[in-house]
Each structure stands twice: as structure tokens, then as C-alpha cells.
């Protein structure tokens, strides 16, 4: 599926001989003398259509128009969030399409973030999981291949800015699709080994390198917490190290650390049976790191990024770690494992310690870490914890731009009291109160040397019910954060290295 941007007024849209035309009509719509404007006004006058977000009307053979089908789609105040909602309401129309081309046109001016929201919402609406389905499945992918997005008076809308938004949206969309695809796959089709192969395949893209460590290399490093989780499974663990080099090799990278539990049974502390199948989504943090790297390779920002993925299953085998066992982490700290279902923080703590060798400018871990965060924030916002205010503010702002929202949670020292242990340096769980916070406090012990943030995506990484499946969050948030940081670093480089004044003959010639 490809997207194209085009200058398109309503009079020109009225004359387009296309299979389908989708008119995005907001509260600021002002009718002109064209057939499409007349159709919108008739529909509004009859009460058949409103401009509120999600309202829609499908018609065929509209007088004066050449499009075979016309969909009027209300987008409210035209804000990106309302546009996203509107496209979602039109998902049925798009999914059932039996045509290859569709044109979207704005009935009023738009901005870059709204354009980006349109592209990502269309991609979301047309996504269909097929990896483990056969031809016996009744679900068929949409036939849409080409999408044109028309914007009135493109010259007055800063074409370079809008084109950049389209490019960014396509890259983020590809990253989200990769994350969704692998998070959706059943655990037997997304083992640690297969996840490592996906990471290695990314090296075919520009500026990406990958190293994969197996059990022997992991043990040699001293990742005792990570290996404790892995020892109950017949599937071998993998520690995946991705590198994106977009800047000078001496520039400090941002480290993204993704929890890669490809299936979480809870281990000896076995989870309840209902909905345990959804624990295949417990590697969504890892999937988001893969998706972010996919987008980076396409956008090529001037920044260095490291991706770290500790990948393993958590199963109750005969060799599985037991409640009360004490293990030593890569940092040297010992951990009393009071609950084997609190395994994500065990694999992450070793990855966070490993990140120190890159001397990063910031470390961000992404994990489906706690059910407590799901209870606190539901499926709307991811939980954000950080030891650095500037980093927290940058991530929150990126989430707003990407419509991939987060909410900052506290990290008061008092929350760590429950993690004290009689038999080790720290316990892996505290009591039930503030479970998402105490989990973050555990991770903070291993990330104190650098600006660090933790995104708990337990409530946002997937949906259940009729729309069951991975969301691809927070790929959008991560990419927007990295792009904004790359812009800031470019300004800083320019300030640190101003152009030198020309001298001698060159100066006179100039």
C-alpha cells in the first residue's frame, strides 16, 4: 500500500473519476460552488450527515461528481485525535473495499500532525493478521493498494512540511505494522530464536547492525537474573543487541530496552488459566523496539540508537526458578525471587546494566510489566516513570504528537521500602499497593547512572474482546521522541561548530 500527497480543491475532487472518494469534513467547512460542496450541504440540511468526528454517509452516483462512491466523513474540529476516531468509524468501508484506489480529500485546511494521523489511522484500519491463517479463513485483506490524500491549496500549506509528515507517517506505520505482526504471533511462531532472526533481518536496511547472544554468551556475561527466568523453558534464550548509527560513532546513543518474554505462564507462580493465551503479548516491548528500528532505517535521522532485547519464555519446568531462590544479577546485586511471575523486571535489570557499556545519553525501557498499571491507567495511556524531568517531558510531548499517550507516575523513595529482603540485596516484588510503582523502583536500582525512563505498556500494548490483537504501541511515541532529539542535537552541533569565515582569495572571490 502506497500513499501520495496531492494539491486538491473540492472543485477538482468533484471532477475526479475515481472508484472511491472520501471527503474529510470538519466544523470549519465552508461550501464552495462545486458539486461536492453542494452534496455536503444537502446531506447536512436533511440531517443525513453531521461534521462531528465519526459521522459518515456513503453514496453512489452523486449528481455532478465523477467518483463512483463518495464517503462523507466528519472529523469534528479537525484535531488529530478526532481524525483518528473518524477513520476508525470508516474502517468497515475500507476493509470491505473491492477497489484498488481511494482518494481522501480535506474539505478545509489541515496541518502536518493531522495528515500523519490520517495515514496511521488508515493503516490501522486496513491491518489484517494472516501469518497463521490459511485459505479456509473467511477474512480477506482489503484490495486497496494506492491511497491519495488531497489537501486544498498545497502551496499555502508548506508542502515540504506536509511531505515530511507523510514520509514520517509511512515510516512509523511500517514500524507499527512490524511490532503488531510479531506481538500477534502465537508463542510457538515467535520464539526467542525467531525473534532474533527478525532483528537480524533488519540489518538488510540502512545503518543497522545486529548481534545475537546465546545461552553460553549470556552466562559468560553474568546475567544471572535473565538466565533464572529462562531456565524453566526448553526454548533457548537470546539477547539481541541492535545498533542504528545515524551520527558520528563517538556520539552517545539512546538505548531502548524491550522486554521480550515470548510467553509468560508465570512460572512456578502460575497465572490463572483464563486469558493466559494473551501472555504471548508479553514481548510487546521487544516488538516496539524492533518497530522503532524499522522506522529509523527508513527515516535515517542523525542520531545513534542501541536496542537491547532479552528474549525468553517463562515456564514452570522442572528446572524452573522457585519462589525464595536468590540469584545474582549482572550488576552484582543479589535478588530474592519471591514471585516468579514478576519475571519481566528480572530480564530487564540485566539488560539495563548491559546498557551502561554504551555510555548512553538516555535509557528507555519498554515493558508489559504490571497488571497494576493496567488497573491504574486502563488502555488509554501507558505508565511513564523517569529519574530525569527533561527526559520525562520529552517522552510525554512525543506521545502527544504521536497520539500514543503516556502519564507520568511517581518514584518516591518510600515506595522502595517493600522491596527489602532478609536474604538478598533486594526482593523482586513488594506488596499489592502501588504495584506498578514498586516494579519501577526495582528497575531504578539498575538505571541510576544515566537519565532513565520506564514505559509500562501492560494496558496499551494489546486489546482484547472483538478487536483482540496487538496495537504496536509505543512505536509512535519512541520514533517521535528520537526524531525530536535528533533535531535538537543537530542544532547543538551547529552551535558548537559554527562555519568558519572564508579567508584570503576565497573571501575576496565570495
List, in order of start, the domains of the chain with CATH numbers.
2-153 (3.40.220.10), 173-493 (3.40.630.10)
510 pLDDT exceeds 50? Answer: no
Position 28 scores a pLDDT of: 83
**Per-residue pLDDT at 357 exceeds 50:** yes
pLDDT bracket for residue 501 (50, 70, 90): low
**134 pLDDT higher than 90:** no
Express each pLDDT in 418-466 by its tens digit: 999 999 999 999 999 999 999 999 999 999 999 999 999 999 999 999 9
pLDDT of residue 508 exceeding 50: no
- Distance separating alpha carbons of residues 359 and 430, to the nearest angstrom: 30
Predicted pLDDT of residue 504: 53
Distance separating alpha carbons of residues 319 and 232, to the nearest angstrom: 5
Q: How far apart are CA 243 and CA 466, in angstroms?
A: 37
| pLDDT digit string, tens, across residues 190-233 | 999 999 999 999 999 999 999 999 999 999 999 999 999 999 99
Beta-carbon contacts of 240 under 8 Å, excluding residues fewer than 6 positions away, are: 195, 196, 199, 210, 211, 212, 213, 260, 286, 307, 308, 309, 310, 311
* For residue 100, pLDDT beyond 90: yes
What is the percentage of the chain residues whose pLDDT exceeds 90? Answer: 91
Pairing of strands 101-106, 69-74: unpaired
**Which residues does the annotation mark as catalytic?**
271, 345
Question: Which tens digits make up the pLDDT trace of 160-199?
Answer: 899 999 999 999 999 999 999 999 999 999 999 999 999 9
Model pTM score: 0.95
Which residues are within 8 A (CB) of 86 and not within 5 positions of it... i.e. 6 or more apart?
A: 24, 53, 54, 56, 73, 74, 75, 76, 121
**How high is the pLDDT of residue 211?**
98
Tell me, what's the pLDDT at 160?
Answer: 86
Lowest mean pLDDT among 129-138, 237-246, 299-308, 478-487: 129-138
Q: Determine the Cα–Cα distance for residues 491 and 142; give it in Å rounded to an integer.
A: 43
Round to the nearest angstrom and report the end-to-end CA distance of the chain.
Answer: 48
Task: Identify the band that residue 240 occupies on the pLDDT scale cut at 50, 70 and 90.
Answer: very high
pLDDT, averaged across the chain: 95
Q: In the prediction, which pLDDT does 279 show? A: 98
**pLDDT band at residue 157 using 50, 70 and 90 as cut-offs:** low
Amino acid at each position: 500500500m502506497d500513499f501520495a500527497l496531492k494539491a486538491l480543491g473540492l472543485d477538482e475532487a468533484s471532477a475526479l473519476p475515481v472508484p472511491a472518494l472520501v471527503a474529510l469534513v470538519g466544523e470549519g467547512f465552508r461550501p464552495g460552488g462545486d458539486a461536492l460542496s453542494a452534496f455536503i450541504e444537502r446531506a447536512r440540511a436533511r440531517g443525513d450527515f453531521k461534521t462531528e468526528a465519526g459521522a459518515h454517509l456513503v453514496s453512489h452516483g452523486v449528481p455532478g461528481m465523477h467518483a463512483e462512491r463518495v464517503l462523507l466523513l466528519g472529523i469534528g474540529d479537525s484535531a488529530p485525535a478526532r481524525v483518528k476516531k473518524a477513520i476508525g468509524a470508516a474502517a468497515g468501508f475500507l476493509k470491505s473495499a473491492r477497489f484498488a484506489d481511494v482518494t481522501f480529500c480535506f474539505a478545509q485546511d489541515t496541518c502536518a500532525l493531522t495528515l500523519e494521523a490520517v495515514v496511521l489511522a488508515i493503516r490501522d484500519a486496513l491491518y489484517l493478521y494472516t501469518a497463521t491463517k490459511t485459505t479456509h479463513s473467511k477474512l480477506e485483506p482489503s484490495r486497496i493498494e494506492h491511497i491519495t490524500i488531497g489537501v486544498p491549496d498545497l502551496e499555502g500549506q508548506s508542502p515540504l512540511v506536509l511531505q515530511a509528515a507523510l514520509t514520517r507517517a509511512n515510516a512509523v506505520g511500517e514500524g507499527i505494522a512490524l511490532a503488531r505482526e510479531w506481538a500477534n504471533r502465537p508463542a510457538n511462531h515467535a520464539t526467542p530464536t525467531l525473534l532474533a532472526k527478525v532483528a537480524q533481518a533488519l540489518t538488510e536496511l540502512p545503518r543497522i547492525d545486529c548481534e545475537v547472544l546465546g545461552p553460553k554468551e549470556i552466562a559468560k556475561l553474568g546475567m544471572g537474573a535473565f538466565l533464572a527466568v529462562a531456565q524453566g523453558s526448553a526454548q533457548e534464550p537470546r539477547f539481541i543487541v541492535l545498533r542504528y548509527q545515524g551520527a558520528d560513532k563517538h556520539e552517545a546513543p539512546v538505548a531502548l530496552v524491550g522486554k521480550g518474554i515470548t510467553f509468560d505462564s508465570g512460572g512456578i507462580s502460575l497465572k490463572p488459566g483464563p486469558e493466559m493465551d494473551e501472555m504471548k503479548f508479553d514481548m510487546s516491548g521487544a516488538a516496539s523496539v524492533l518497530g522503532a528500528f524499522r522506522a529509523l532505517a527508513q527515516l535515517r535521522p542523525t542520531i545513534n540508537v542501541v536496542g537491547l532485547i532479552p528474549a525468553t519464555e517463562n515456564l514452570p519446568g522442572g528446572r524452573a526458578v522457585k519462589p525464595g531462590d536468590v540469584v545474582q544479577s549482572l550488576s552484582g546485586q543479589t535478588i530474592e525471587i519471591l514471585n516468579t511471575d514478576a519475571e519481566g523486571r528480572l530480564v530487564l535489570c540485566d539488560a539495563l546494566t548491559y546498557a551502561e557499556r554504551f555510555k548512553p545519553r538516555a535509557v528507555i525501557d519498554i515493558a508489559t510489566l504490571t497488571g497494576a498499571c493496567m488497573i491504574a491507567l486502563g488502555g488509554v495511556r501507558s505508565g511513564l516513570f523517569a529519574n530525569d524531568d527533561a527526559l520525562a517531558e520529552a517522552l510525554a510531548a512525543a506521545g502527544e504528537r504521536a497520539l500514543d499517550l503516556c502519564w507520568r507516575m511517581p518514584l518516591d523513595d518510600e515506595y522502595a521500602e517493600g522491596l527489602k529482603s532478609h536474604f538478598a540485596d533486594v526482593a523482586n516484588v513488594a506488596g499489592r499497593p502501588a504495584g506498578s510503582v514498586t516494579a519501577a523502583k526495582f528497575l531504578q536500582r539498575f538505571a541510576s547512572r544515566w537519565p532513565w525512563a520506564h514505559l509500562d505498556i501492560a494496558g496499551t500494548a494489546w486489546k482484547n474482546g472483538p478487536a483482540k490483537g496487538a496495537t504496536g504501541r509505543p512505536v509512535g511515541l519512541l520514533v517521535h521522541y528520537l526524531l525530536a532529539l535528533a533535531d535538537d542535537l543537530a542544532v547543538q552541533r551547529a552551535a558548537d561548530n559554527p562555519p568558519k569565515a572564508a579567508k584570503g582569495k576565497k573571501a575576496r572571490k565570495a
